[in-house]
Structure 1
Amino acid sequence: MNRKKRIYLAGPLFSHAELEYNCKLRDSLLKKGFSVFLPQEDAEDTTNERERQNQECIFKKCVGGMDGSDLVVAVLDGVDVDSGTAWEIGYAYAKEKPVIGLRTDFRSLSDGIVNLMVEMSIIDLARDEEELLKILEKFR
C-alpha cells in the first residue's frame, strides 16, 4: 500500500485571516489524500507558544517537518513573500524537495510575479486552490 505523500504547508501565520486560510487549505489537501504538516499547529507556532517555549524549539519542529515532507506548498500572497516562507522555500530547494507556489494575490512586481529567487525555486505556480489541487494530482 502506498503511503500518503506529506506536504509541508508554508505561509504567513500572523493574522487571524492567515491562520484561517492555512487551515482551510490544509483541509482541502487532506480531502485529496495528502498528509499535511501545518506549522501553526504541528510546530505550535503561536503567540502563546512563542512566549512559553524558546524560538529554537519551534524552529527545530519546523525543520523536522520540512525534512519529513515530500513536497512543499508555499502561499506567496502579499506585497512580498513572507520572510519565513521565503526561507522555507530556499531550504526545500536546497534539499531538492519540489515546491509548488500558490499566489491568489493579483498584484505583481514590475519584472515578475514574485521575487526572482523565489520564483526560480518553485516548480509550478497556482493562482487558486482549484489549480493547486490539479497540479498536486501528479504527486499522489
Structure 2
Amino acid sequence: MSEKKLVYLAGPLFTHAELEYNRKLRDTLLNNGFSVFLPQEDAEDAAQERERQNQECIFLKCVEGIDASDIIVAVLDGADVDAGTAWEAGYAYAKGKPVIGLRTDFRELSDGIVNLMLEMAIVALARDEEELIKIIEKYQ
C-alpha cells in the first residue's frame, strides 16, 4: 500500500465561516485518502503560543508544513485572495510543489479568474470540492 500524500491546506482562517470551511475541506481530503496539514490547527493550536502571540513560531510551523507536504491546496475565494494564502502558494511554487487552486467564488476579474501571478503558479483550478478530489487524485 502506498503512503498517503500530505496536503497542505492554505486558506483564509479569520472568520468562523472560514475556519469551519477549512475543517470541512480537511475532512473531505482525509476521507479521500490524504493526510492534511491544516495551519489553523497544526501551526497555531498551542495555547501558550497564542497567549505569547508568537508569530515567528506560527510562521515557521507553516513553512515546515509546506516543506513537508507533497501537494498544496489553496482556497482562492474572495474578491481578493487572502494574502497569507497567496504567500503560501508562491512559496510552494518556488519549492517546485504542485499547487491546486480551489475557487468556489463565482466572481472573476476582468482579465482572469484570480490574480495573474496566482493563476500562473497553480497546476489546476477546481470550482468545487468534487472537482478538487478528481484533480488531486492524479497526485496520489
TM-score range, shorter chain: over 0.9
In structure 1, the residue matched to 2:20 is 20
In structure 1, the residue matched to 2:74 is 74
Judged with a 3 Å threshold, the aligned counterparts in structure 2 of structure 1 residues 47 and 18 are, in CA distance, closer, same or farther, namely farther
Measure, in 2, the Cα distance between the counterparts of 1:113 and 1:48: 40
In structure 1, the residue matched to 2:92 is 92
How many Å apart are 1:58 and its aligned residue? 0.2
How many Å apart are 1:34 and its aligned residue? 0.2
In structure 2, the residue matched to 1:57 is 57
Measure, in 1, the Cα distance between the counterparts of 2:36 and 2:111: 33
Does 2:134 correspond to 1:134? yes
Q: Which runs of 5+ in 1 are unaligned?
A: none
How many Å apart are 1:88 and its aligned residue? 0.3
Tell me whether 51-60 or 119-128 shows the greater mean CA deviation.
51-60
8 Å contact from structure 1 (residues 71, 98) kept in 2 = yes
Q: Which contiguous aligned blocks of 4+ residues in structure 1 show a shift greater than 4 angstroms?
A: 45-49
Letter of the structure 1 residue corresponding to residue 129 of structure 2: E
Aligned length: 140
In structure 2, the residue matched to 1:33 is 33
8 Å contact from structure 2 (residues 7, 37) kept in 1 = yes
Measure, in 2, the Cα distance between the counterparts of 1:134 and 1:46: 34
Measure, in 1, the Cα distance between the counterparts of 2:107 and 2:49: 33
How many Å apart are 1:53 and its aligned residue? 3.9
In structure 1, the residue matched to 2:117 is 117
Judged with a 3 Å threshold, the aligned counterparts in structure 2 of structure 1 residues 50 and 93 are, in CA distance, closer, same or farther, namely same
Measure, in 2, the Cα distance between the counterparts of 1:38 and 1:75: 12
CA-to-aligned-CA distance 1:36-86 (integer Å, 9 cap, x gap) = 000000001699844434100000000000000001000000001100000
Letter of the structure 2 residue corresponding to residue 20 of structure 1: E
Measure, in 1, the Cα distance between the counterparts of 2:2 and 2:106: 37
Measure, in 1, the Cα distance between the counterparts of 2:81 and 2:104: 12
Judged with a 3 Å threshold, the aligned counterparts in structure 2 of structure 1 residues 72 and 79 are, in CA distance, closer, same or farther, namely same
Q: Secondary structure of the equivalent of 1:33?
A: coil
8 Å contact from structure 1 (residues 40, 46) kept in 2 = no
Q: Secondary structure of the equivalent of 1:4?
A: coil
In structure 1, the residue matched to 2:7 is 7
Measure, in 2, the Cα distance between the counterparts of 1:139 and 1:5: 8
